[in-house]
Structure 1
Amino acid sequence: MSTALLEVSDLQTAYGSSQVLFGMQLHMRSGDVATLLGRNGMGKTTTVRSILGLTRPQGGSVRFLGERVDGLAPDRIARMGLAVVPEGRQIFPNLSVEDNLKAFAARRNGLSEPWTLDRVWAMFPRLLERRRNMGNQLSGGEQQMLAIGRALMTNPHLLILDEATEGLAPLIREDIWQCLDTLRAAGQSILVIDKYVQRLVKLANQHTVIERGRVVWQGDSPSLAAQPELWHRYIGV
C-alpha cells in the first residue's frame, strides 16, 4: 500500500498584508503523479514555495514523509528528499553542464539504482553532447533538461516541476513529457504545474485546480478528462 508522502492541510500564506492561499489542501502518496492547475497568479507557485520552505505559511501545515516541515529551513527540507525544477530553470550560467549536475549529486531515497551522471546522460543524450558547454550556452529546451537532470541527481522522494514546459518548442516539449512518462513508470513521485491539460491527464493520476488561492476542484484523470468546461473556466484552455 502506498504511504503518505506529502500532506498540505488548510495552508494559509501571505506576502505582507496580501493573503494568497486560503486553506490549500493537497495530499500525495508515494508513487503518485499529481498536478496543480490554474491560471497565472492563482497561487500555484506560492503553494510550491510554501511546501519548499521558501515562503513561510501563516497557518495550516505541511507534512513530508510524515514529518511536519512548515517552518523548517529550505535546505533542511531539500535534504529530506524534495527537489524542484523551478520556473525559469535557474541553472548556473557559468558552470558546465556536467558541473551543474555534479554540484547537486546526493544519495537520498535509498534507491537501488540511484541517479548518476550516466543515467542522466541516458535520459537526455543532448546533455551528454553538450556536457562541456556552459549553462548560458544552452537553448531553453536544453536548460530545462539540465534543470530536470540536476533535480534528479539529488535522488528525491518527490520531484516538483513548476511550469515544466513553459516557452518550449513543441518537439522539445514532447521530449520533456516523454521524460516524465519514463519517471512515472519507474515509480518517481512527481508534482507538476503546467497548462497542457490534455497531456497531463495522460501523465498524472490526480489533479488539484485552484483559483485565487482556494481549491475549486480535485479528482482523478478520468473525471478531469470528462469535464472540459473545468479546463476553460479555471485554466483558460
Structure 2
Amino acid sequence: MDKMKGHVLEADSMWLEYEGCKILQNIYLQMQTGHVTGLLGRNGTGKSSLMQMIFGTLRGQNQSVRFNGDYVSHPYQHPGLISYLPQHAFIPSNLRVSEVCRLYKVDFTDLCRHFQDLEQYNLTRVKDLSTGNRRLLGTLLVLLMPVAFTLLDEPFAALSPLSIEQMRRVITEQKARKGILISDHAYEDVLGLADATYLIVPVGRSILLKDVYSELEEFGYL
C-alpha cells in the first residue's frame, strides 16, 4: 500500500443495537490521510464501539467500511491498513519492550526520539512498567505503526500534562503519513488537533461539526 498517496476510509450505515437498545444508527464518518479527524460524544454514545466496528473486531446489525471506495469487511486483517488503540491494556505483559517493538514493526529508537525517558526500558518487561508508561508505550506503538489509518481511543489517558503536550506533537507529525481518528475526554486537545470533528448525539447519530463550539453547546456536549 502506497501511503504517500491520498487515501480515504469511510464508515457508513454503522448500526449497533444491544438487546433492542440502539447504540449507533446510520453513522457516517470519513477519514483522510494527511488529516486528523476528531470524534466527540458524551459517555455511552458509542464512540468506542464505533472504533471497534471500523477496525473490524465488532460486528453490528449493519456496517460498511470502505477503503478508497472498496468495501473492506475486516480492516484489521489487511496489512498496512489500520491500527487501533483501545482503552484497555492490550500489550502482552510478559514481553520485553524491545520484543513488543518488533511485534508492532516499530523501531525502538523512534519511541525514544519522541520520549527520551523510554531509553532505559528497552529490556524491561511490560508488566514492570508503571501504568502511565504502559499507556504511553501502547499509544506510541499504535501511532508509529506503518499503516494508512490509526484509531486512537483516549490516547491522553494516564499521561502527565507534559506527556500529553509531547503526544500532541507526535500525532501532528504522524498525520503527514496517515489519517488519524481521535476520541478523548480532553476535548480541547482533540479540537486543537482535528481538521474535522464529528459529534455523536442521542440516539447514535453522527454530525460533522461546522460551527464547532456553538454546535457542541446546542447538542448539550458542553
Q: Report the secondary structure of 1:39's partner residue.
A: coil
The 1-side partners of 2:174 and 2:144 are apart by 13
Cα–Cα, structure 1 residues 94 and 170, in superposed 2: closer, same or farther, change >3 Å? same
* Residue aligning to 2:155: 164
Structure 2 residue 134 is matched with structure 1 residue 131: no
12-21 or 192-201: bigger deviation = 12-21
Q: Report the secondary structure of 1:133's partner residue.
A: coil
Cα–Cα, structure 1 residues 45 and 98, in superposed 2: closer, same or farther, change >3 Å? same
Map residues 64-213 of structure 1 onto 2, 5 A cutoff.
64-70=67-73, 72=74, 75-77=76-78, 79-105=79-105, 116-152=107-143, 154-184=145-175, 186-213=176-203
The 2-side partners of 1:229 and 1:82 are apart by 32
CA displacement 1:100-126 (0-9 Å, x = unmatched): 111121xxxxxxxxx533222212222
Q: Note if contact 1:13-1:50 (Cα within 8 Å) is conserved in structure 2.
A: no
AA at the equivalent of 2:55: L
**Sequence identity (%):** 25
The 2-side partners of 1:136 and 1:124 are apart by 19
Structure 2 residue 56 is matched with structure 1 residue 56: no
How far off its partner does 1:86 sit?
Answer: 1.3
The 2-side partners of 1:37 and 1:230 are apart by 14
Q: Note if contact 1:83-1:158 (Cα within 8 Å) is conserved in structure 2.
A: yes
Aligned-residue Cα RMSD (Å) equals 2.4
* Residue aligning to 2:40: 37
How far off its partner does 1:127 sit?
Answer: 2.0
The 1-side partners of 2:203 and 2:64 are apart by 15
AA at the equivalent of 1:90: F
The 1-side partners of 2:151 and 2:212 are apart by 21
Q: Note if contact 1:21-1:214 (Cα within 8 Å) is conserved in structure 2.
A: yes
Output the TM-score relative to the length of structure 2: 0.86
Q: Note if contact 2:15-2:62 (Cα within 8 Å) is conserved in structure 1.
A: yes
Q: Note if contact 2:53-2:60 (Cα within 8 Å) is conserved in structure 1.
A: yes
The 2-side partners of 1:65 and 1:125 are apart by 37
Cα–Cα, structure 1 residues 140 and 175, in superposed 2: closer, same or farther, change >3 Å? farther
CA displacement 1:125-154 (0-9 Å, x = unmatched): 222221111112222332122112322453
Cα–Cα, structure 1 residues 208 and 142, in superposed 2: closer, same or farther, change >3 Å? same
Where in structure 1 do 4 or more consecutive aligned residues deviate above 3 Å? 15-19, 225-228
Output the TM-score relative to the length of structure 1: 0.81
AA at the equivalent of 1:211: V
Q: Report the secondary structure of 2:132's partner residue.
A: helix
For structure 1, the residue ranges without an aligned partner over 5 or more in a row are: 106-114
